[in-house]
Chain A
Amino acid sequence: MKGLRNLWAWALLTPPLAAAVVLFVVPLLYLFYISLHAASPSEIYGSTLTLENYTSVLSDGFYLGIIRRTIGTAAAILALCLFIGYPVAYFVALLPTRRRMIVLLLLLFPLMVSNVVRAYGWVALLGRRGVINTGLRDLGVIDLPLDLLYNTEAVVVGLMTILLPYMVITIANTLAALDRRYEEAAQALGAGPVRTFLHVTLPLSTPGIASGMLLVFLLTLSAYVTITLLGGPRSKLLVSMVYDSVVGFQWPRAAALAFILLAIALTLTGVILAVLRPNRVQGIGR
């Protein structure tokens, strides 16, 4: 009854596969297809095939500027998350198990709160009548409120704190799973704490760093709500352009912008993986 055995296998595979294909693969292919067509005033897309949606964006100084700003912002957020996140992860990894679990749960919890709420928290902090401004005015440090909001810096700070837990958790998990004996072996060979860290611990934690960086980076590109709330109309990034095109019913352009965004995501993912080469340290603990 080999057929029956296969029947069970198909029963298991078909629903999730169908869902993944129909709701993930097909829409994306369709989107790409649309991006290759000219715009149309009445339909979703016109009848002519064209690369114009891509070329017009990539040759437009305005858009190129946005792209530059997007990559720059992402890089700044990545750097901050890494430099603050790594020491925190190191600290967390060294904690005894019970306490570590509690701290990780404490870090996990903000991730479950919707980004819009967390962004709102920053609006409340940085706004003209926000916590910082009223605090500084009450202390007499300033007379007029500072414009802390609606610029790229606010976006960087806000997104950085929203995404920091991802970095900490992935690196902490990798560090915690590291065999302590690697460090002991290094010390037995004469390496002090700093050199042990630089030559043993840090390289061995590359898988965690790579995961963390990829996660933070991909989420940064996609974080429309936070970018809009904290950046305002003058600090738009590429994802904001996608949304604007949608609002303007310019579907093919929106599609093209989305794929340019995806291309940037894939390229920089490749760069991160190539630089860090996390596969070198396969098998040291997941």
Chain B
Amino acid sequence: MSPAFSVGRAIRGSAVVVAFVLILAPILIVVVTAFSPTDYFQFPPPGFSLRWFVEFFRLDNMRNAFTLSLELALLSATIATVLGTLGALYLARRRGVVAGLLQSLFLAPLVFPTIILGLALLLLYKSLGVPVFPGLLLAHCVIGMPYCFRTVLASVQALDPALEEAGQSLGAGPLETFFLVTLPLIWQGVLSGWLFAFIVSFGELNTALFLSGPGLTTLPIEIFSYLQFQGSQLVIAAASTIQIVLIVLLVAGIERIVGMGRIIRSR
């Protein structure tokens, strides 16, 4: 083993350690802090207490923000899944310039700077007089749709196209083919897509930043406000931890149903 080789491995090893520490440490600190009994930020916390979780649920604005985020995520993920699935079914077997353009259009919100989209939607909503909640909901739908589109597209394209034709050859019309042949074979892709759309919506900042309104803020924006205006840090730690726990539960639950490989591959 040449010295260059060992140095290479040492670099790799230390990079890995550094990377994981840098990535995970901030999150761990937040979670640990949430259980602190103190009034102000102190690390490591001197004891263990759930007071800040209690406080989180006591505070109206926190509770409302949490509920709003949850509702938004559930609704927008479901709508995004329907839209994404329809789009994927349409494009799965189509080729050509138009199909390529459509696919780019459907995937565009994934890479497009969401802050610009947020601003654009804000101004459009202002002109049309769209109220806050529907506005936010629609924004999260259009942001979540590409995730579902992508996972369902991959699932449908992995299917033997002859399967749908076989269904038709035996007399199954379009709806019957979808529900009896296609869906049973792609439902895991659909569910993964839903999961991503939910998680993205729940943690979404950039459009909520512009589109939230008085009394209607999402949880991440509420946390941001607290941080900006030096509100109680520890309630934020609790709020953050609740968000993290929710995500962990959701991912674990879906992983059980769908399997790890599918979740990884859709990134």
**Are chains A and B touching in the complex at the 8 Å CB cutoff?**
yes
Cα–Cα, bound, A109→B251 (Å): 9
Contacts of B237 on A, CB cut-off 8 Å? 120
For B12, list chain A residues within 8 Å (CB).
87-88, 90-91
Any chain B CB within 8 A of the CB of A122?
Answer: yes
Q: B22 touches which one: A112, A161, A192, A262 (CB < 8 A)?
A: A161
Determine if A225 and B205 form an interchain contact, defined as CB atoms under 8 angstroms apart.
yes
Contact partners of A120 in chain B: CB under 8 A: 26, 30, 223, 227, 233, 236-237, 240
| A16 and B83 contacting across the interface, CB-CB below 8 Å | yes
* Interface 0/1 of A242-286, CB less than 8 Å to B: 110010000100110011011001000000000000000000000
Interface size on A, residues (CB 8 A): 85
Contacting pair B206 A224 (CB below 8 A): yes
The verdict on A261 contacting B111 (CB below 8 Å), with A19-B145, A224-B205 known, is: no
Query: Using Cβ atoms and an 8 Å threshold, which residues of chain A touch B179?
Result: none
B120 proximity list for chain A (CB < 8 A) = 27-28, 30-31, 258
**Any B CB within 8 A of the CB of A129:** yes
Q: In the assembly, what is the distance between CA of A49 and CA of B131, in Å?
A: 29
Say whether A114 contacts B203, CB under 8 Å. yes
Q: How far is the CA of A222 from the CA of B109 in the complex (A)?
A: 13
Selecting from B56-64, B183-191, B256-264, the interface stretch reads B256-264
With known contacts A20-B105, A108-B263, A27–B117 Cβ distance under 8 A: yes
A146 interfacial contact with B, CB 8 Å: no
Q: Which A residues are CB-close (under 8 A) to B223?
A: 114, 116-117, 120
User: Chain A: interface secondary structure?
Assistant: helix
Asked if residues B123 and A31 are in contact (CB atoms below 8 Å), the reply is yes
Q: Are A243 and B209 neighbours in the complex by a CB distance under 8 Å?
A: yes
Residue from A11, A114, A161, A262 having most chain B Cβ neighbours under 10 A: A114
Closest CB-CB distance, A55 to chain B, in whole Å? Answer: 20
The listed residue (B27, B116, B138) touching A121 by CB distance below 8 A is: B27
Interface of B, helix, strand, loop or mixed by DSSP: helix
Query: Any chain A CB within 8 A of the CB of B158?
Result: no
Which one, B3-11, B46-54, B159-167, is touching chain A? Answer: B3-11
A214 touches B111 (CB 8 A): yes
Q: Does B95 contact A (CB under 8 A)?
A: no
**Structural contact, A123 and B209, CB atoms closer than 8 A:** no
Give the most central of A27, A30, A218: most B CB within 10 Å. A27
Whether the Cβ atoms of B115 and A224 lie closer than 8 Å is: yes
Which B95-145 residues sit within 8 Å CB-CB of chain A?
A: 102, 105-106, 108-109, 111-117, 119-124, 126-127, 138-139, 141-142, 145
Number of interface residues of B (CB under 8 A): 90
Chain B residues in 8 Å Cβ range of A122: 26
Name the interface residues of A11-28: CB closer than 8 Å to any CB of B. 11-13, 15-17, 19-20, 23-28
Is A235 at the interface (CB under 8 A from chain B)?
no
A113 to B27, CA, bound (A): 9
The answer to whether the Cβ of A193 comes within 8 Å of any Cβ in the partner chain is yes
Give complex CA distance A123, B235 in Å: 15
Interfacial chain A residues near B5, Cβ < 8 Å: 193-194
Residue B124 contacts which of A8, A26, A101 (CB distance < 8 angstroms)? A26
For B11, the chain A residues whose CB sits under 8 A away are 87
Contact B126 A44 (CB under 8 A): yes
Q: Which residues of A contact B126 (CB under 8 A)?
A: 44
CB-nearest residue of chain A to B250: A112
Q: How far is the CB of B117 from chain A (nearest CB, A)?
A: 7
Q: Which residues of A contact B141 (CB under 8 A)?
A: 19, 23
Q: Which residue from B26, B117, B261 sits with its C-beta under 8 Å from A101? A: B261
Q: Which residues of A contact B124 (CB under 8 A)?
A: 26-27, 30
Q: Using known A-B contacts A15-B82, A229-B224, A243-B209, determine if residue A131 contacts B29 with beta carbons closer than 8 Å.
A: yes
A118 to chain B, nearest CB (A): 6
Q: Which residue of B lies closest to A85 (CB)?
A: B19
Given contacts A44-B126, A130-B43, A9 and B90 within 8 Å (CB-CB):
yes
| CB within 8 Å of A: which B69-111 residues | 82-84, 86-87, 89-90, 102, 105-106, 108-109, 111
A-B pairs, top 7 by smallest CB distance, nearest first, are A121-B26, A114-B203, A16-B87, A27-B120, A222-B113, A87-B15, A31-B120
- Could you give 29 example pairs across A and B, Cβ below 8 Å? A13-B102, A16-B83, A20-B105, A24-B117, A31-B123, A84-B18, A88-B16, A101-B260, A109-B247, A114-B203, A114-B219, A116-B221, A117-B240, A120-B223, A120-B237, A120-B240, A121-B25, A121-B29, A124-B43, A125-B29, A193-B8, A194-B8, A218-B112, A224-B115, A225-B205, A225-B209, A225-B220, A228-B228, A262-B116
On A, residues with C-beta under 8 Å from B are 8-9, 11-13, 15-17, 19-20, 23-28, 30-31, 34, 44, 84-85, 87-88, 90-91, 101-102, 104-110, 112-125, 127, 129-131, 134, 160-161, 164-165, 168-169, 173, 192-194, 214-215, 218, 221-222, 224-225, 228-229, 239, 242-243, 246, 251, 254-255, 258-259, 261-262, 265
